[in-house]
Structure 1
Amino acid sequence: MPILSRRHLLARSALLLAATSSSGLAVAGPPAAADSAEPQRGGTLVVMTAVQPPQLVPFSPDGSRSIGPKIIEGLLRYDFDLTPKPALATEWTVAPDGLTYTFKLRKGVKWHDGQPFTAADAAFSIGLLKQIHTRGRATFANVEKLETPDEHTLVLRLSKPAPYLLNALVASESPIVAKHIYEGKDAAANGANNRPIGTGPFRFVELVHSSHLVLERNPDYWDAGKPYLDSLIIRFISDAGARAIAIETKEVDIAGGTLIPLSEVERIKALPHIVIDDRGSVFDSGVKRIEFNLDNPYFKDLRVRRAIAHALDKTVIRNVIWYGFGQIVAGPISPDLAPFRTEGLPTYPFDLKAAEGLLDEAGFPRKTGGIRFSVIHDYRPSTEGDKRTAEYVKQALAKIGIDVTVRSQDFASYVKRVYTDRDFAFTTNSMTNTFDPTVGVQRLYWSNNFKPGVPFSNGAHYVNREVDALLESAAIEIDAGRRKKLWDEIQTKVVTDLPDINLLSDFDFTYLNRRVVNAITDASGISGDFATTWVKQ
């Protein structure tokens, strides 16, 4: 079942509610030469990111996901609708019972150190991802045996079906690494994580801490004649203002849209050398949300959670806090995962009178000064929008007698507070759906995934045994229609129980210098390999 690409992402910034419009901000799309002109060889492409990731091999869902695939490849690529395409695997079959996956691997591929790529590398990598990858532990949990009947055939034997597995084999999610580099060593501490040896179109040259990464063209790349570029430079620029200047002054050619303050989008978009492309973000689709700690004495009461839902105006959050970006959602699944979305979910329209009544009913009347109770709100310190959302929550809940203190902290402290210490009442964050809700959404609502110390899991401590059973059934259901119905039930029950309030779909787009051609060619977006990317000289 295809997953639709993101459409009508960029909406007109609207700081004044009266000026709110649902019309989209014009997206210029890819340069016109992308599909027609003859690629030009040579040149250097400069890509910007905010921070240097802890490692360059994407063993976890961090910044390395946009860098690693230039060096390290996966078994498959995916078209914009997530249709699988060949990469290190050229053919694949899935048994009717969903328990056997067979991959024919590409011949004549070499690692950057000259060693041949074989099925042993692929089998070793899947086994390693099952052990150490944040999501790979779940993605490959049902893989009980890895077989290599010859040097170019890989067979996965599963204990139970995993209908999401075939969409998980992109380089940014499931990197294939060299067995001879990693076998017998601590993968997390392996020096190759920051001096990668891959099979991809670019080879590692230099990493200067907190400054830049240099990659060069792989002359032995299996796809003859590619890549077209001579080199890639990845610049790490931590200051948001400096990032905007780098785009304006043509110091960098490519940057993710969220790296620049949203208040700057209209101005940057108007620059004559800039084009905006909103394709290739399916793997990062998700939702912005407010998550409750259901062990909190106030928020364990459903009436209090419903009161808060009625007190928040999602239209204001979208148009004022997030400058008109994203789409208002009722449930946990992004519009990007259209085949799994459910229409007609319960909603909690903005209604302060209903909110007040629910709080009275719950036994929290207004006291001296009109305050019912006081709580602390923590926000994920990732973007200015997270902070602005938290400040809006404070203002909105003051109107119904809830006194909110907004607490800020660095990212590591936030993760520890919410997922290890559980020292929080409620929080603003966002969660990625990934390529399939069993991988990206189940973790948030499955009671077995309440694991203090494990980040980005069931932080609410939500427990509903009916939902557990539905999630477990959906995880192994190979019939697309039946699986959709299971996810309909899951979403309805979750939105009724309100362990969280889903606000908006996450969004992403890319700033491109007009000299760049074919930067975004599939569902990976700028996390792709840039093998077919070129620059107009």
Structure 2
Amino acid sequence: MHRRTLLTGAAAIGAAAIGAASSLPNVAIAQAPGSRVLKFIPQSDLAVLDPIVTTAYVTRHHAFMVYDTLYGIDADYAPQPQMAEGHTVEQDGKLVTITLRPGLLWHDGEAVRAKDCVASIRRWAARDGLGQVLMSLTDELSAPDDRSIVFRLKRPFPLLLDALAKPSTPVCFMMPERLANTDSATPLREVMGSGPYTFLANERVPGSRIVYERFDKYVPRPEGTASWTSGPKKVNFDRVEWHVIPDAATAANALQNGEMDWWEQPTADLQPVLRRNRNVLMEIPDPTGLMALCRFNQLHPPFDKPEVRRALLGAINQSDYMTAVIGTDRSLFRDGVGFFPPGTPMDSDAGMQALTSPRDMEKVKRELAAAGYGGEPITLIAASDFPSLSALAQVGNDMFKQAGMNVEFVSTDWGSVVQRRASKEPPSKGGWNVFFTFFAGIDMFNPAVHQSLRGTGQQAWFGWPTAPKLEELRSKWLEAPDLAAQQAVAREVQTQAFQDVPYLPLGQYFQATAYRRGITGVLKGMPLFWNLQRG
């Protein structure tokens, strides 16, 4: 696999700022100075506990606390052993044996065994695109003893370790065999991992609080440096509390007054206030940015017709979406963005005239009519308690209406959106036509991990597009012999995506995170709760 590089200039975005404290009013969420409790404001409530059945990032962040992975990625996006002690490759790449580190324990005190990992890999692979490719190339996946995981492959698969290490959802988290044997479409209700924290289910208050406690029997890797999801996971807090605070002003107050330690996604309008507070640090944790998109449900009219989806490409003004989310500072967003993150190896200008040509809403209306749209209602589900997604949905609602579409705007909480978007029922029976979301740029680096470009119908990500040409090109990319060949295929993929339109690309933005000056060791990437210290 060709190692991915950071976005050009992205690593330089965001830095700590100092200045005068804000005059916003106080809120009352007390925290004792020097406490070994970390208080965190997540992007949304944790609606789904099972990280295999959903791609919601809040569930992934939860899962990285309580579960562990065989491999993690470092700052160069290279796989590094995590639960694995190491691996061997034999028989010209067709026999791969992964050895577990000794002494790994589940939170109930039982030993982690290779058969647990085999069952976990199978459950994950049933839901993940790259996992499905891996299993299609696997003649046998077995656990001949308690510490050995053996892949016998039909042919060498250079991306095997990358598949096990990737942070894109769903992540290949390890679970006890008794849980991992659950059907991959059935959400687990029990949380049992081997990660650095245990989940305190009895303290969970839906819509308000999620609590974790340090797992005192967790043994970090003895060597290396913590980097993204790899290296030693050293826990310095006894307890982590997630406090769900949908109101942005209340969240800002709590952070500035020291009642909260870390706010995952401060809204654009309050970032200047936070930057002026000398006790708050702000930075861009993920240099790959966030790629915003509008997702269609292709099972039901009118978006089952590619002509309808293509017509709407002419209605997009990406800068409208980006300024609604992150403000007018152009260093914090990019427009003119296609299906791969700008500045990454698979990015190209193929087909980009669909987004960069002059906007003509009257032409869009004519094309929609020619495609057979006759004014039927479209159900747009929007997350009212998730500021960035709410902003995207508001702009999208206006875009659809300007294009002459009849919009039923359903505003609800993000947890309800996550649950409703999984429904394949018609909109009139609790389903949906369109929703807005984003993926981290790293999750869209190439066709192998780009879940929203999959076209496997009922097995695809929410929206369930059937796109045989995209699937054919994905297979071609996976077999490409070198970077130049991969880039050539990626151009074909983007060209075809502008024909099939599995979603509308809305631009890329860089979301700052904010935390108290006394917190150190914040890792790059996503919110990770090891390596952190106070003071």
TM (norm. structure 2) is 0.75
User: SS state of the match for residue 273, structure 2?
Assistant: helix
Deviation at 1:291, TM superposition (A): 3.7
Distance 1:327 1:244 in 2: 26
Aligned to 1:316: 320
CA contact (8 A) 1:273 1:513 kept: yes
Distance 1:182 1:271 in 2: 46
Aligned to 2:292: 287
Deviation at 1:215, TM superposition (A): 0.7
Distance 1:529 1:25 in 2: 22
Deviation at 1:87, TM superposition (A): 1.0
Deviation at 1:197, TM superposition (A): 4.2
Of 502, 514, 528, 1:511 maps to 514
Of 31, 37, 44, 2:37 maps to 44
Distance 2:190 2:303 in 1: 48
1:252 corresponds to 2:240: no
Deviation at 1:390, TM superposition (A): 4.0
Letter in 2 for 1:256: E
| Distance of aligned partners of 1:330 and 1:498 in 2 relative to their CA distance in 1, 3 Å threshold | farther
Of 437, 450, 455, 1:441 maps to 450
1:28 corresponds to 2:31: no
CA contact (8 A) 2:393 2:436 kept: no
Of 269, 285, 299, 2:275 maps to 269
Distance 2:139 2:502 in 1: 34
Aligned to 1:300: 305
Deviation at 1:186, TM superposition (A): 7.5
User: SS state of the match for residue 320, structure 2?
Assistant: helix
Write the mapping of 1:103-182 to structure 2, written as runs, cut at 5 A.
103-131=98-126, 133=127, 138=132, 140-142=134-136, 143-159=138-154, 162-170=157-165, 173-179=171-177, 182=179
Letter in 2 for 1:54: V
| Distance of aligned partners of 1:189 and 1:3 in 2 relative to their CA distance in 1, 3 Å threshold | closer
| Distance of aligned partners of 1:340 and 1:95 in 2 relative to their CA distance in 1, 3 Å threshold | farther
Aligned to 1:502: 505
CA contact (8 A) 2:89 2:96 kept: yes
Deviates most, 82-91 or 159-168: 159-168
CA contact (8 A) 1:48 1:252 kept: yes
Letter in 1 for 2:258: K
Aligned to 1:75: 70
Deviation at 1:160, TM superposition (A): 5.8
| Distance of aligned partners of 1:267 and 1:376 in 2 relative to their CA distance in 1, 3 Å threshold | same
Deviation at 1:415, TM superposition (A): 6.0
Aligned to 1:237: 244
User: What is the count of residue pairs matched by the alignment?
Assistant: 485
Deviation at 1:439, TM superposition (A): 4.9
Aligned to 2:333: 326
Write the mapping of 1:426-505 to structure 2, written as runs, cut at 5 A.
427-430=434-437, 432=439, 434=443, 437-441=446-450, 444-446=453-455, 449-451=456-458, 456-459=461-464, 461-463=465-467, 465-477=468-480, 479-505=482-508
Deviation at 1:313, TM superposition (A): 2.2
Aligned to 2:378: 376
Distance 2:437 2:400 in 1: 20
Letter in 2 for 1:249: N
Letter in 2 for 1:250: G
Distance 1:185 1:305 in 2: 36
Distance 2:72 2:141 in 1: 21
Aligned to 1:16: none
Deviation at 1:128, TM superposition (A): 3.4
Deviation at 1:489, TM superposition (A): 0.7
User: SS state of the match for residue 322, structure 2?
Assistant: helix
Deviation at 1:189, TM superposition (A): 7.0
CA contact (8 A) 1:213 1:234 kept: yes
CA contact (8 A) 1:126 1:140 kept: no
Distance 1:42 1:492 in 2: 54
Distance 1:335 1:3 in 2: 13
CA contact (8 A) 2:470 2:493 kept: yes
| Distance of aligned partners of 1:118 and 1:343 in 2 relative to their CA distance in 1, 3 Å threshold | same
User: SS state of the match for residue 215, structure 1?
Assistant: strand
Deviation at 1:169, TM superposition (A): 2.5
Deviation at 1:305, TM superposition (A): 5.0
User: SS state of the match for residue 334, structure 2?
Assistant: coil
Distance 1:363 1:286 in 2: 30
Deviation at 1:518, TM superposition (A): 1.2
Aligned to 1:84: 79
Deviation at 1:75, TM superposition (A): 0.9
| Distance of aligned partners of 1:499 and 1:214 in 2 relative to their CA distance in 1, 3 Å threshold | closer
RMSD (CA atoms): 4.1
Deviation at 1:288, TM superposition (A): 2.0
User: SS state of the match for residue 506, structure 2?
Assistant: strand
Of 409, 413, 425, 1:421 maps to 425
Deviation at 1:228, TM superposition (A): 4.9
Letter in 1 for 2:294: R
| Distance of aligned partners of 1:60 and 1:385 in 2 relative to their CA distance in 1, 3 Å threshold | closer
Deviates most, 470-479 or 242-251: 470-479
User: SS state of the match for residue 175, structure 2?
Assistant: coil
Aligned to 1:61: 55
User: SS state of the match for residue 351, structure 2?
Assistant: coil
CA contact (8 A) 1:379 1:387 kept: no
Deviation at 1:351, TM superposition (A): 2.9
Letter in 1 for 2:135: A
Letter in 1 for 2:490: W
Deviation at 1:300, TM superposition (A): 3.4
User: SS state of the match for residue 4, structure 2?
Assistant: coil
Aligned to 1:34: none
CA contact (8 A) 2:336 2:352 kept: no
CA contact (8 A) 1:217 1:227 kept: no
| Distance of aligned partners of 1:280 and 1:87 in 2 relative to their CA distance in 1, 3 Å threshold | farther
Aligned to 1:215: 213
Deviation at 1:263, TM superposition (A): 1.9
Distance 1:445 1:204 in 2: 33
Letter in 1 for 2:342: P
Unpaired stretches in structure 2, ≥5 consecutive residues? 18-33, 223-231
CA contact (8 A) 1:419 1:455 kept: no
